[in-house]
């Protein structure tokens, strides 16, 4: 051993300039210097330009009144509110449309991906045509298109579709009754919470029973029933007193209740339709990637089609699906920024357009907007990495 | 080979960058041989590609008048389409020499942005358009209405002010693009569409059934639309301002692009001074003696520009109204040349 | 052997009888693919009903009731009740959709006929023609001289495009970039994005795999930041902030700013695609290269990258598709690409009718679709070609 080490030391030492370590440090220093020089030049130029243009800088504008209105807000907002509130409104609106969009696009994407592999020729071809058309047209164009179509297809206020006396659909959006809970309604929330625990307990018990007796228990339907029935029963016992504020036609428009404006619906619709096509392809390739032997093995075990997909194929396909799925979720969130084009007040529309126009703080506002998206993307990645680790193959 | 490519690439890149000395815009313009004019990305009557894919409109004609005064060539202009959020940045960075882009003259813009407004090319005011069958006759009946607005404009703030001042509720539906706003109103997304009255007329004329919509008489704001130059260059400011005055004076004196050559022989001293037959007022602007003659010859007078782009015989069908000459009861007034 | 002459044993093979009627031909196909089970039949019926509900109105709008260009067709035909797509409007504004504000050739504009209409915009058309001539052999897998072809397309061609379109040399009229528009600009942004983002993406991907911590950190930060933000914020930054970054008094061309934004953005995505290819290569390849005494650049250039890039050609083409679709976002910062040209043409009062906007959008969508679908088919074809021999 000692000899070997000695031999190693005897190897010709490379000259100073050819030493990989020295070179590596040198290259890095050069890159570092270039970056620093670049940042320095940009910073001084910006400062000089801002000074030449007599523009004020800083983040103090956050505490000035915004003096514009927003038509869809999750928190109270009017023209006397501050810019920071406008920022929060925009961010919440972005989050809202992204979260709902992700949920629906995932569900529909899975269905469509499975449909593409369907034995039924019509269904498979329909799914294929859908995917090929939607994937190859820019989203911005689709959003313009959908917005036009949504507005054209929906009736005006006077001719709204009305269901159950409180659900109203017209070209202003979708209105529905707003629950006005009182104190006793807290009991219902508690009941729901208990039902959730009960559902988990049921699942645990059903698995035990399956392992011991081989008998199946319809956990899914039972849980759903439990989650709905128990709170309803508690609500009825507690006096069934939940008031609803229903939308009513007053003057120009329906007042009261909660309203999702058409811009929200069009954006959501467009994002879901677009992302669904991509998720469908991911799901399809994930399923195709599962070895055919798995399907055959599952069939030979006598599993039904649904069980085969749910218990054997999908869990294995998930490993292939998760990483690209994550980037689709992020894409959807980022694409929601196109809201500005069709008038949905998301972060870019409220903050980077209206606020920037009025305050002129370009550098600050663009920087903050980018930080928000960066943070959202980091959070999503962290969560999906955690989930990915959970479903990763357990190698023996 | 490699070096050559790099050289070509560099020179190509440099070709797309331009250094402008901020001090003398006129010298720069003369040196490069054209005026770089910032226009809208598309407003019918003010700046829109015509059937030959060339920019046309009231704002565009002002740029042409300016180019005529300097070069005796109405086509010595390059148009940069700018949307409302870019326009002032493009001005202050020197990307454009002039902004002729339906921009409202306000105090804060005049004082805080380092801009100068040259003179009101078009007096406008914000109005409302509603459907006829809604039976609305006054904005005060608009409580609870959904209002279509373009964002990033004074319109948005005026609407907020108006509805707050009159204690009315409203529901703003805002868009970046003007055409999206109009489409949303047409499709019934809003009860009301609000923008400058000229814009309302322009848009209504494009509707399938214009008679089904009414523009309410009440005007809720003053919107003087004026060309903009950078602060601190008085020579350029004077040229831009007197180009506008020359247009108005020409109309007042009855000089049109058709009769301008005859008018050279006119006995009226005001006409003689304007057309450079008597005195040399062009020199004080740094221009040739016949600068105003060139403007009228190439582009016409203010009235001609108005009628050609937005007047009663165009799809916009606007009356002169407040944009008539002061002699006809309007607001267009220019100081005399003497 | 005579023993085998048993009466109950056949001496000749039974002739093949045709398959039962129910499992062959159209009927068999229908049975197997549409009505193999009850649930399958229900799905078939639902699908067919859906088609019957959707197809007739779409056909009516696009073809049946559409107003086609022709003698005496005016905007009044498009305004008529029940009229479908107003193709006459598209035909009338076609040059604007394709060439934007690009100046017409003064001589040819006065001439008549097909040649005249091609020559009116001969500079742009020549650029299109040369591009096609270079691109087709480049994409044809069996042809040789790929290296020369690539150099011509990726290096020489952009320079040619630049001088051909801007002019100002060789007696060509100078055309500023603000006069470029329509499909021309869309294709230019796509081309420049591709030409810049591929090499930049490779460099970033190599940097990310590098053992030098500073370079690695820088590349990771660069890639992750660009990938995390929406393109619209990048373009906004390019249009509002980039002028601030330049020395006082210096301006950059509006189109160039958008090009910088789009290229950097797609380079970050490209880097991740290339990284996928690098990671898929077995480590033995780089070890083998090292054992041959190749230095870093040689081993990358001759051993690693050729294999890695070949693996990810489909991914690269997919990035190109995404990039091409993303070019439509420059419409938001006021550049007259195909989408913006469509929107502005939609404002044209001479053709104002209730179907004007939808017709314009359908037309733009069809063009985008044709390009993207073509690219995606190409990527699938390459995938199949490259796949042979790797299947287990």
Ordered per-residue pLDDT tens for chain A, 396 residues: 445 455 555 556 667 767 777 888 888 888 889 989 999 988 888 888 877 766 667 788 888 887 777 878 888 887 788 888 889 999 999 999 999 999 999 999 999 998 888 888 888 899 999 999 999 999 998 988 888 777 767 777 767 777 776 777 777 778 777 777 677 777 777 888 888 888 888 888 888 887 787 777 777 788 888 888 887 887 777 766 667 777 777 666 677 777 888 888 889 989 999 999 999 999 988 888 888 888 889 889 888 877 888 888 888 888 888 878 888 888 898 899 988 878 888 898 888 888 887 777 778 888 899 899 999 888 877 887 787 777 766 554
In a domain, C26, yes or no: no
pLDDT score for A241? 66
**Residue C181 in this model has a pLDDT that exceeds 80:** yes
pLDDT score for C2? 54
Neighbours of C178 (CB within 10 A): 23
Q: Do B146 and A253 touch (CB under 8 A)?
A: yes
Q: Which residue of A has its CA nearest to B150?
A: A343
| Residue in A331, A223, A228 with CA at minimum distance from that of residue A276 | A331
Beta bridge partner(s), residue B223 = B124
Q: 226-265 in C: which are within 8 Å (CB) of B?
A: 239-240, 243-244, 246, 248-256
Q: Which residue of C has its CA nearest to B89?
A: C240
Going through chain B in order, the beta strands assigned E by DSSP cover: 17-19, 35-39, 48-49, 55-56, 77-81, 98-99, 115-117, 122-131, 145-150, 170-175, 192-196, 213-215, 221-225, 228-230
Q: In this structure, what DSSP letter does residue A284 have? A: H
How far does A146 lie from chain C, in Å, by closest CA?
10
From the list C36, C244, C325, which residue is nearest A49 (CB)? C244
From the list A253, A261, A345, which residue is nearest B144 (CB)? A253
pLDDT score for A155? 72
Q: Do C326 and A138 touch (CB under 8 A)?
A: yes
How far does A215 lie from chain C, in Å, by closest CA?
26
Q: Which residue of A has its CA nearest to B176?
A: A341
Q: Which residue of A has its CA nearest to B183?
A: A148
Q: Which other chains touch chain A, taking contact as 3+ CB pairs less than 8 Å apart?
A: B, C
pLDDT score for A109? 93
How far does B78 lie from chain C, in Å, by closest CA?
8
Set of chain B residues whose Cβ sits within 8 Å of the Cβ of A256: none
Q: 179-198 in C: which are within 8 Å (CB) of B?
A: 179
Q: 27-46 in B: which are within 8 Å (CB) of C?
A: 41-44
pLDDT score for C390? 46
Instruction: For residues C372 and A247, give the distance between their C-alpha atoms in angstroms, rounded to a whole number.
Output: 45
Model pTM score: 0.82
Q: Which other chains touch chain B, taking contact as 3+ CB pairs less than 8 Å apart?
A: A, C
CATH annotation of B125-223? 3.40.190.10
Instruction: For residues B11 and C66, give the distance between their C-alpha atoms in angstroms, rounded to a whole number.
Output: 49
Set of chain C residues whose Cβ sits within 8 Å of the Cβ of A139: 325
Set of chain C residues whose Cβ sits within 8 Å of the Cβ of A348: 230, 232-233, 236
Terminal CA-to-CA distance of chain A, rounded, Å? 36
Count of A–B CB contacts within 8 Å?
100
Q: Do A363 and C241 touch (CB under 8 A)?
A: yes
Contact B131, B124 (CB under 8 A): no
Query: What would the mean pLDDT of C126-137 be, rounded to a whole number?
Result: 87
How far does A257 lie from chain C, in Å, by closest CA?
33
pLDDT score for A147? 81
CATH number at residue C273: 1.10.3720.10
pLDDT score for B117? 92
CATH annotation of B20-121+226-254+299-322? 3.40.190.10
Spacing of C-alpha A284 from chain mean position: 21
Spacing of C-alpha C328 from chain mean position: 12
The CA distances from residue A325 to A276, A280, B49, in Å, are: 11, 10, 43
Q: Do B86 and C349 touch (CB under 8 A)?
A: no
Q: Is A113 strand, coil or helix?
A: helix
Set of chain B residues whose Cβ sits within 8 Å of the Cβ of C352: 205-208, 315
Residues 6+ apart with CB under 8 A from B219: B125, B126, B127, B197
Instruction: For residues A51 and B71, give the distance between their C-alpha atoms in angstroms, rounded to a whole number.
Output: 34
Q: Is B19 strand, coil or helix?
A: strand
From the list A28, A145, A356, which residue is nearest C214 (CB)? A28
Q: Do A138 and C357 touch (CB under 8 A)?
A: no
Residues 6+ apart with CB under 8 A from B270: B249, B253, B336, B337, B338
Q: Do B180 and A342 touch (CB under 8 A)?
A: yes
Does any CB of chain C come closer than 8 Å to the CB of residue B93? yes
Instruction: For residues C360 and B180, give the distance between their C-alpha atoms in angstroms, rounded to a whole number.
Output: 14
Disruptive mutation site among A150, A252, A351 for chain B (greatest number of B CBs within 10 Å): A252
Set of chain C residues whose Cβ sits within 8 Å of the Cβ of B9: 159
Q: Do C212 and A341 touch (CB under 8 A)?
A: no
State ipTM: 0.82
Does any CB of chain B come closer than 8 Å to the CB of residue C352? yes
Q: Do B189 and A171 touch (CB under 8 A)?
A: yes
Disruptive mutation site among C101, C104, C165 for chain B (greatest number of B CBs within 10 Å): C101
Q: Could you read off the pLDDT of B101-134 as tens digits, one per residue?
A: 888 888 878 887 778 899 999 988 888 999 888 8
Low-confidence ranges of chain B (pLDDT < 50): 1-2, 4-5, 8-9, 20-21
Contact B70, B29 (CB under 8 A): yes
Q: Do A353 and B160 touch (CB under 8 A)?
A: no
Does any CB of chain C come closer than 8 Å to the CB of residue B320? no
In a domain, C377, yes or no: yes
Q: Which residue of A has its CA nearest to B133?
A: A158
The CA distances from residue B36 to A146, B16, C176, C345, in Å, are: 37, 14, 11, 23
In a domain, C241, yes or no: yes
Residues in chain A: 396
Instruction: For residues B40 and B42, give the distance between their C-alpha atoms in angstroms, rounded to a whole number.
Output: 5
How far does A308 lie from chain C, in Å, by closest CA?
16
From the list A54, A71, A171, which residue is nearest B172 (CB)? A71
Q: Which residue of B has its CA nearest to C152?
A: B5
Disruptive mutation site among B116, B136, B159, B187 for chain A (greatest number of A CBs within 10 Å): B187
How far does C265 lie from chain B, in Å, by closest CA?
19
Three state DSSP letters for chain C: CHHHCCCCCCCCCCCCCCCCHHHCHHHHHHHHHCCCCHHHHHHHHHHHHHHHHHHHHHHHHHHHCCECCCCCCCHHHHHCCCCCCEHHHHHHCHHHHHHCCCCCCCCHHHCCCHHHHHHHCHHHHHHHHHHHHHHHHHHCCCCCCHHHHHHHHHHHHHHHHHHHHHCCCCCCCCCCHHHCCHHHHHHHHHHHHHHHHHHHHHHHHHHHHCCCHHHHHHHHHHHHHHHHCCHHHHHHHHHHHHHHHCCCCEEECHHHHHHHHHHHHHHHHHHHHHHHHHHHCCHHHHHHHHHCCCCHHHHHHHHHHHHHHHHCHHHHHHHHHHHHHHHHHHHHHCCCEHHHHHHHHHCCHHHCCCCHHHHHHHHHHHHHHHHHHHHHHHHHHHHHHHHCCCCC
Instruction: For residues B273 and B292, give the distance between their C-alpha atoms in angstroms, rounded to a whole number.
Output: 9
Set of chain B residues whose Cβ sits within 8 Å of the Cβ of C250: 17-20
| Residue in B317, B333, B337 with CA at minimum distance from that of residue B325 | B333
Set of chain B residues whose Cβ sits within 8 Å of the Cβ of C254: 80, 95
Q: What is the mean pLDDT of chain C?
A: 83
Q: Would you tell me the crossing angle of helices C182-209 and C157-166 to the nearest 10 degrees?
A: 140
Q: Could you read off the pLDDT of C28-51 as tens digits, one per residue?
A: 777 777 777 788 888 888 888 988
Q: In this structure, what DSSP letter does residue A173 have? A: E
Pairing of strands B77-81, B35-39: parallel
Going through A229-359 in order, the beta strands assigned E by DSSP cover: 243-245, 248-250, 253-255, 258-261
Count of domains for chain C: 1
Instruction: For residues C388 and B125, give the distance between their C-alpha atoms in angstroms, rounded to a whole number.
Output: 70
Give the residue extent of every domain in chain B: 20-121+226-254+299-322, 125-223
In a domain, C359, yes or no: yes
- Helix, strand, coil percentages in chain A from 3-state DSSP, rounded to 5: 70, 5, 20
> Exposed e or buried b for every residue in C348-386, given b needs 16+ CB within 10 A?
bbebbbbbbbbbbbbbbbebbbebbbebbebbeebeeee
Does any CB of chain B come closer than 8 Å to the CB of residue C147? no
pLDDT score for C297? 83
From the list A121, A126, A136, which residue is nearest C372 (CB)? A136
How far does B50 lie from chain C, in Å, by closest CA?
8
Q: Chain A interface residues facing chain B, Cβ-Cβ under 8 Å?
A: 49, 52-54, 67-71, 79, 144, 147-148, 151-152, 156-157, 171-172, 250-253, 255, 261-263, 340-343, 345, 349, 353-354, 356-358, 360, 362
Q: Could you read off the pLDDT of C280-335 as tens digits, one per residue?
A: 788 888 888 888 888 888 888 888 888 888 778 888 888 899 899 988 888 878 88
pLDDT score for C3? 57
How far does C16 lie from chain A, in Å, by closest CA?
29
pLDDT score for A1? 45
Residues 6+ apart with CB under 8 A from B36: B29, B77, B78, B80, B95, B96, B97, B98
Q: Rounded to 10 degrees, what is the CA torsion of B247, B249, B254, B256? A: -20
Pairing of strands A243-245, A178-180: antiparallel
In a domain, C222, yes or no: yes
Set of chain A residues whose Cβ sits within 8 Å of the Cβ of C214: 28, 31-32
Spacing of C-alpha A94 from chain mean position: 9
Q: Range of C229's domain?
A: 176-387
Contact B131, B212 (CB under 8 A): yes
Q: Which residue of B has its CA nearest to A342?
A: B175
């Amino acid at each position: 051993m000692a000899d070997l080490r000695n031999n190693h030391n005897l190897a010709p030492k490379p000259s100073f300039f050819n030493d990989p370590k020295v070179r590596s440090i040198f290259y890095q220093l050069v890159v570092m210097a270039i970056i620093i020089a670049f940042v320095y030049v940009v910073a001084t130029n910006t400062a000089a330009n801002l000074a030449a243009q007599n523009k004020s800088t800083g983040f103090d504008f956050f505490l000035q009144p915004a003096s514009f209105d927003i038509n869809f807000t999750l928190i109270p907002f009017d023209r006397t509110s501050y810019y920071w509130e406008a920022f929060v409104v925009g961010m919440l609106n972005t989050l809202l449309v992204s979260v709902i969009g992700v949920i629906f696009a995932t569900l529909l994407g899975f269905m469509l991906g499975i449909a593409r592999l369907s034995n039924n020729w019509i269904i498979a071809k329909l799914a294929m045509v859908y995917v090929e058309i939607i994937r190859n047209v820019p989203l911005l164009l689709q959003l313009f298109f959908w917005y036009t179509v949504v507005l054209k297809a929906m009736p005006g206020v006077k001719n709204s579709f009305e269901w159950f006396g409180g659900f109203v659909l017209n070209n202003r959006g979708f209105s529905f009754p707003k629950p006005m809970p009182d104190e006793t309604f807290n009991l219902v929330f508690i009941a729901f919470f208990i039902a959730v625990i009960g559902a988990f307990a049921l699942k645990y018990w059903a698995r035990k029973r399956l392992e011991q007796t081989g008998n199946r228990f319809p956990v899914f339907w039972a849980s759903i029933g439990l989650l709905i029935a128990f709170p309803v029963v508690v609500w009825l016992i507690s006096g069934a007193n939940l008031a609803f504020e229903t939308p009513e036609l007053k003057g120009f428009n329906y007042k009261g209740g909660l309203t999702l404006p058409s811009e929200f619906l069009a954006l959501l619709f467009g994002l879901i339709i677009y992302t669904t096509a991509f998720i469908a392809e991911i799901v399809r390739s994930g399923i195709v990637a599962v070895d055919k032997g798995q399907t055959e093995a599952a069939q030979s075990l006598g599993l039904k089609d649904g069980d085969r997909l749910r218990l054997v194929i999908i869990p294995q396909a998930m490993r292939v699906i998760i990483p690209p799925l994550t980037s689709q979720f992020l894409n959807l969130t980022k694409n929601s920024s196109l809201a500005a084009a069709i008038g949905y007040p998301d972060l870019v529309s409220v903050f980077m357009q209206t606020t920037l126009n009025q305050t002129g703080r370009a550098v600050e506002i663009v920087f903050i907007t980018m930080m928000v998206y960066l943070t959202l993307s980091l959070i999503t990645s962290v969560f999906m990495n955690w989930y990915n680790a959970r479903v990763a193959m357990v190698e023996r | 080979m490699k070096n050559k490519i790099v050289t070509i690439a560099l020179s190509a890149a440099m070709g797309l960058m331009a250094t402008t000395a901020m001090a003398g815009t006129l010298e720069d313009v003369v040196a490069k041989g054209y005026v770089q004019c910032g226009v809208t990305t598309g407003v019918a009557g003010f700046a829109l590609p015509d059937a030959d894919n060339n920019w046309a409109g009231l704002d565009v004609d002002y740029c042409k008048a300016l180019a005529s005064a300097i070069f005796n060539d109405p086509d010595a202009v390059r148009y940069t389409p700018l949307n409302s959020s870019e326009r002032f940045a493009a001005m202050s960075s020197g990307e454009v020499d002039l902004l002729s882009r339906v921009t409202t003259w306000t105090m804060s813009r005049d004082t805080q942005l380092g801009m100068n407004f040259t003179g009101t090319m078009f007096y406008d005011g914000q109005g409302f358009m509603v459907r006829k069958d809604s039976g609305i006759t006054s904005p005060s009946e608009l409580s609870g209405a959904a209002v279509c607005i373009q964002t990033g404009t004074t319109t948005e703030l005026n609407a907020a002010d108006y509805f707050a001042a009159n204690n009315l509720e409203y529901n703003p539906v805002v868009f970046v693009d003007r055409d999206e706003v109009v489409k949303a109103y047409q499709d019934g997304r809003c009860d009301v569409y609000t923008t400058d009255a000229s814009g309302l007329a322009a848009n209504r004329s494009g509707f399938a059934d214009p008679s089904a919509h009414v523009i309410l008489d009440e005007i809720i704001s003053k919107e003087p639309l004026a060309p903009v130059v950078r602060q601190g260059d008085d020579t350029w400011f004077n040229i831009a301002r007197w180009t506008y005055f020359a247009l108005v004076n020409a109309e007042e004196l009855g000089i049109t692009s058709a009769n301008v050559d005859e008018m050279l022989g006119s006995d009226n001293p005001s006409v003689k001074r304007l057309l450079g037959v008597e005195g040399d007022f062009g020199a004080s602007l740094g221009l040739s003696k016949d600068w105003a003659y060139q403007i009228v010859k190439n582009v016409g007078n203010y009235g001609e520009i108005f009628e050609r782009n937005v007047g009663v015989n165009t799809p916009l069908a606007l009356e002169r109204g407040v944009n008539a000459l002061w002699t006809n009861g309007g607001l267009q007034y220019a100081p005399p040349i003497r | 052997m005579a023993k085998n002459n048993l009466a109950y044993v056949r001496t000749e093979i039974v002739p093949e009888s045709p398959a039962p009627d129910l499992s062959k031909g159209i009927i068999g196909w229908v049975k197997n693919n549409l009505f193999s089970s009850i649930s399958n039949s229900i799905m078939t019926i639902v699908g067919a009903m859906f088609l019957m509900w959707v197809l007739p109105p779409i056909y009516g709008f696009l073809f049946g009731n559409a107003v086609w260009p022709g003698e005496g067709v005016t905007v009044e035909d498009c305004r008529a009740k029940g009229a479908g797509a107003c193709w006459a409007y598209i035909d009338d504004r076609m040059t604007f959709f394709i060439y934007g504000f690009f100046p017409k050739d003064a001589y040819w504009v006065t001439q008549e006929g097909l040649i005249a209409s091609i020559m009116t915009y001969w500079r742009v058309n020549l650029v299109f023609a040369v591009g096609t001539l270079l691109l087709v052999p480049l994409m044809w897998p069996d042809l040789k001289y790929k290296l020369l072809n690539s150099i011509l397309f990726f290096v020489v061609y952009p320079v040619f495009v630049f001088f051909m379109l801007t002019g100002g040399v060789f007696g060509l009229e100078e055309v500023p970039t603000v006069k470029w528009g329509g499909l021309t600009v869309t294709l230019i942004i796509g081309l420049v994005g591709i030409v810049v983002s591929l090499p930049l993406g490779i460099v970033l991907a190599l940097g990310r795999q590098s053992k030098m911590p500073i370079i690695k950190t820088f590349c990771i930060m660069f890639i992750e930041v660009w990938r995390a933000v929406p393109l619209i914020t990048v373009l906004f930054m390019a249009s509002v902030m980039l002028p601030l970054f330049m020395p006082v008094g210096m301006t950059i061309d509006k189109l160039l700013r958008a090009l910088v934004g789009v290229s950097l953005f797609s380079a970050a995505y490209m880097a991740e695609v290339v990284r996928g290819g690098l990671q898929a290569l077995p480590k033995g390849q780089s070890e083998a290269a090292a054992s041959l005494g190749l230095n870093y650049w040689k081993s990358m250039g001759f051993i690693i990258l050729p294999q890695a890039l070949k693996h990810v050609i489909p991914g690269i083409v997919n990035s190109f598709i995404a990039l091409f679709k993303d070019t439509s976002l420059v419409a938001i910062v006021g550049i007259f690409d195909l989408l913006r040209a469509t929107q502005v043409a939609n404002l044209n009062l001479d053709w104002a009718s209730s179907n004007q906007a939808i017709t314009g959008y359908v037309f733009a969508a069809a063009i985008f679709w044709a390009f993207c679908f073509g690219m995606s088919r190409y990527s699938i074809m390459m995938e199949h070609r490259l796949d042979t021999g790797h299947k287990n």
